[in-house]
Amino acid sequence: MKIIKRNKAEVEFDQSKITAAVTKANSAAKENERMTPVQIERISDSVTKQCEKIGRALSVEEIQDLVEKQIMAHGAYEVAKLYITYRYTRTLVRKANTTDDTILSLIDCNNEEVKQENSNKNPAVNSVQRDYMAGEVSKDLTCRLLLPQDIVEAHKEGIIHFHDSDYYAQRMHNCDLVNLEDMLQNGTVISGTMIEKPKSFSTACNIATQIIAQVASNQYGGQSISLTHLAPFVQVSREKITRYVKEEMKAIGVELSEDKLGEVVESRLKEEITRGVQTIQYQVITLLTTNGQAPFITVFMYLNETSDPQLKHDLAMIIEEMLKQRIQGVKNESGVYVTPAFPKLIYVLEEDNIEPDRPYYYLTELAARCTAKRMVPDYISEKVMLSLKIDKNGNGNCYTAMGCRSFLTPYVDEQGKPKYYGRFNQGVVTLNLVDVACTARQSHKADKTAAFWEIMDERLELCHRALRCRHERLKGTLSDAAPILWQHGALARLEKGETINKLLYNGYSTISLGFAGLWECVYAITGKKLTEDEGRLFGLKVMQRLNDACAKWKAEEHIDYSIYGTPLESTTYKFAKNLQRRFGIIEGVTDKNYITNSYHVHVTENIDAFSKLELESEFQKLSPGGAISYVEVPDMQSNIPAVLSVIRFIYDHIMYAELNTKSDYCQVCGFDGEIRIEKVDGKLIWKCPNCGNTDQNKLNVARRTCGYIGTQFWNQGRTQEIRDRVLHL
């Protein structure tokens, strides 16, 4: 069994330390107030058993809380007081060097919390350590100087989560849709160098990857680009190749018919498209940004984004190549093709590709094969999205997420045209709905539902103030802080020295009220699941309350607040631990080391894929600032018709969804199948079922973490959640 020390290092549990600590406090008490050695051992044994029962590595503070309760249970109040006093004194001493200890544990790769914080960062790499070290300093400044203390305490207690506090001090924003069209067509500047309009498709792809890297280094969330913005350069290359071929043929004295010339040109053009797409694929996964990871980039594939027949044809060629290369995968250190985490792909289902008799159905079949093999693309239903994303002109809109699930709200510019590219999200604060429900259960009010709504309103106002802190922190930011974003077209074309203030109001950018744990929240108050009518209706009321609050704030402040289904990664574990500490173990509510993401059906619930998607579509409508649903499926590579049936269901019923499968490889024995999770000495580990290899450095494991694919393993809470997932198909 392991414990987490105060500097976040993980060490072996040592029961004798409990005995020694209680013995010291006992010795300091008056003789008639002391416990016997037998009582002390009983306390030590009882705490150990409780730690084992919880089934995860507890922090030192959590263990000390258990010790306090056991001393009190034995009636040794004087000893308990001395033990509490000793803890408080030691806390004051430690306050001066907590940040120093944490940073040192990062350098030594012994900080378990940070090592498992991001499933796409390798904490042993210098650039990642540098980012984490800077993050610890930023978090320290944020908590001590920049945020109100009640918000800091609420964050520490897991009542809310103030996302990305490690970037807060720098006035950085969350995620965005890069205006690649503007940057490629009108030129941009990268690191002080003028980049003009590219003269070929492959050059456009190369410039796009440089833009992606620069953008990723100047914000902390996900970003998205559209292949539609690259498609015009296919024609540029076509014309260029045509000139070259004519010159070559003339030089050797050969005349080609128009048909033959066209064949040669298209053949060479396809080769260039292959090279260009390969540039995006390989540069994205081999680039390291200033935060020590590959850019969190989403590539949008939407045929109906253009109405020009030739441009649509060229776009289809790019999409086809993107899918084919993703099916192949990328080679790992051993030269074996594995599943990369990025770029994330989003494929739009529409009239021209959803039926077998439609012209681009072949792309949907290819997408289905890619999903079965590599877990991407994810799917947006144009039909459903057009019905949900209505702008002020009354028109429906279809557009990409920013990163994994964050969606902008509909926006119309001064010319009355919808605008999405060049917009961004200011940041996220997430409300722990489970904590609201558990607090209501503990209240003295007889009507727990009434208590829930009262506490909900108090917590919403807390979140509102925290979100305003994010907004105010960005106000006054000069365009000079990130020229690629604010001056050279990624998000705007502001002047040097100009602030970004005008982009923070009136819907140009959004700011997100996140939520987590709707499943457990509903069960805690109603005793019913979201899959039952009473639970579903209460869950919808909760979601509506969140939307009503955002609408009120937006009307009063002209800031575009929006509800966001938070993709908890490491925070799911943090929330669970805080809930257990604050409320104990409540069956069906706090009895797991994770809580459920956003509005999702619990991972252990037996429900078929179609019922799950249909149910979650109701909640997705009420999460306009970000949401994605998924179904868990077995290996589907030999059953593509089943994948296509799920895809068709998505098109008819839900705006945004994905299929989760497995894509693993053992470097020791070459096993190409599902790497399993087992519990060893109280800790969940990954193990090859063929050879028993448990060395994470020699295992390639890819799992959908929370809307995107993770490949660097996860903390114990998220690992338990992955282990508990049941199949929906």
In a domain, 401, yes or no: no
**330 versus 135: which is more confidently predicted?**
330
User: Which pLDDT value is given to residue 640?
Assistant: 97
Instruction: Give the pLDDT score at 145.
Output: 87
pLDDT band at 6 (very low <50, low <70, confident <90, very high): low
* Cβ atoms of 619 and 612 closer than 8 Å: no
- Flag whether 413 is in a domain: no
- CB burial of residue 713 (10 Å; 0-12, 13-18, 19+): middle
Alpha carbon distance 713, 530 (integer Å): 30
Identify the residue with better confidence: 44 or 8.
Answer: 44
| Domain match, 340 and 357 both | yes
Looking at the structure, tell me whether residues 562 and 439 fall in a common domain: yes
For residue range 584-642, list pLDDT tens digits in order: 999 999 999 999 999 999 999 999 999 999 999 999 999 999 999 999 999 899 999 99
* The residue count for the chain: 729
- For the cut 70, the answer to whether the pLDDT of residue 457 exceeds it is yes
Residue 462: pLDDT above 60? yes
109 in helix, strand or coil? coil
Per-residue confidence (pLDDT) for residue 651, from 0 to 100: 98
At residue 505 the predicted structure's pLDDT band, cuts being 50, 70 and 90, is very high
Q: What is the pLDDT of residues 483-504, one digit of tens each?
A: 999 999 999 999 999 999 999 9
* Statement to judge: residues 164 and 182 lie in one domain: no
Q: Where does the pLDDT of residue 652 fall: very low under 50, low under 70, confident under 90, or very high at 90 and above?
A: very high
Residues 91 and 182 in one domain: no
Confidence at 333, pLDDT banded by 50, 70, 90? confident
Give yes or no: residues 369 and 484 share one domain: no
Average pLDDT over residues 147-151: 95
pLDDT at 86: 73
**Residues 210 and 113 grouped into a single domain:** no
Report if residue 480 sits inside a domain: yes
pLDDT at 693: 95
pLDDT band at residue 129, thresholds of 50, 70 and 90? Answer: low
Q: Which residue did the predictor score with more confidence, 702 or 452?
A: 452
pLDDT for the residue 109: 58
Task: Tell me what pLDDT residue 366 has.
Answer: 98
* Domain-located, residue 615: no
Q: Percentage of the chain surpassing pLDDT 90?
A: 69
CATH number at residue 371: 3.20.70.20
Question: In terms of residue numbers, what domain contains 56?
Answer: 1-96
pLDDT at 115 over 60: no
pLDDT tier at 80 (50, 70, 90 boundaries)? confident
What is the Cα–Cα distance from 301 to 299, expressed in whole angstroms?
Answer: 7
346-370 residue pLDDT tens: 999 999 999 999 999 999 999 999 9
Q: Average pLDDT of 54-61?
A: 80
Which whole number is the average pLDDT over 52-76? Answer: 84
- The whole-angstrom separation of Cα 183 and Cα 79 is 69
Residue 374 lies in a domain: yes
Predicted confidence band at 411 (pLDDT cuts at 50, 70, 90)?
very high
Q: Which of 566, 596, 626 is the last residue of a domain?
A: 596
- DSSP characters for 394-422? S-B-----BTTTB-PPP-B-TTS-B--TT
Residue 74 has pLDDT above 80, yes or no: yes
| Token pair listed for 201 | 């498709």
pLDDT digits (tens, 9 = 90+) for 219-265: 998 999 999 999 999 999 999 999 999 999 999 999 999 999 999 99
Do 80 and 45 lie in one domain? The reply is yes
Write down the pLDDT at residue 232: 98
Please report, in angstroms and rounded to a whole number, the separation of the first and last CA atoms in the chain: 36
Q: In whole angstroms, how far apart are CA 506 and each of 309, 412, 556, 611?
A: 35, 10, 11, 38
Q: What is the pLDDT of residue 112?
A: 54
| Pair 438, 525 in one domain | yes
Question: Are 167 and 220 within 8 A, CB to CB?
Answer: yes
Residue 36 corresponds to which tokens in the numbers above?
A: 């016997």
Q: Specify the higher pLDDT residue, 705 or 356.
A: 356
The number of beta carbons lying within 10 Å of the beta carbon of residue 628 is 30
Task: Give the whole-number percent of the chain exceeding pLDDT 70.
Answer: 92
Residue 365 · residue 355 · CB < 8 Å = no
Question: Could you tell me if 272 and 356 lie in one domain?
Answer: yes
Q: What is the SS3 assignment for 428? A: strand
pLDDT exceeds 70 at position 132: no
Q: What is the pLDDT of residue 557?
A: 98
pLDDT band at 524 (very low <50, low <70, confident <90, very high): very high
Report d(CA 455, CA 435) in Å as an integer: 10
Number of structural domains, the chain?
4
Q: List Cα–Cα distances, 42 to 25, 177, 440, in angstroms.
A: 16, 59, 34
* Helix then strand then coil, % of the chain, to nearest 5: 50, 15, 35
Q: Flag whether pLDDT at 680 surpasses 90.
A: no
Check whether residue 151 and residue 231 sit in a common domain: no
- Is the pLDDT reported for residue 1 higher than 80? no
pLDDT at 598: 95
**Is residue 335 very low, low, confident or very high in pLDDT (cuts 50, 70, 90)?**
confident
Half-sphere exposure of 281 (CA within 13 A, CB side): 22
| Average pLDDT value for residue range 419-440 | 98
Please give the mean pLDDT across all residues of the chain: 91
Supply 470's token pair.
């994010």
The pTM for the full model equals 0.86
339 lies in the same domain as 474: no
448 and 302 together in one domain: no
- Looking at residue 128, what is its pLDDT? 64
Q: Report if residue 681 sits inside a domain.
A: no
Of 336, 360, 388, which residue constitutes the final position of a domain? 388
Q: What is the average pLDDT across 47-72?
A: 84
Residue 606 lies in a domain: no
Residue 487 contacts by C-beta under 8 Å, 6 or more apart in sequence? 189, 479, 480, 493, 494, 495, 496
Active site residues: 174-175, 402, 404, 406, 425, 564, 569, 707
Which of 337, 366, 388 finishes a domain? Answer: 388
Residue 101 confidence class, pLDDT cut points 50, 70, 90: low
- Higher model confidence: residue 289 or residue 205? 205
612 falls within a domain: no
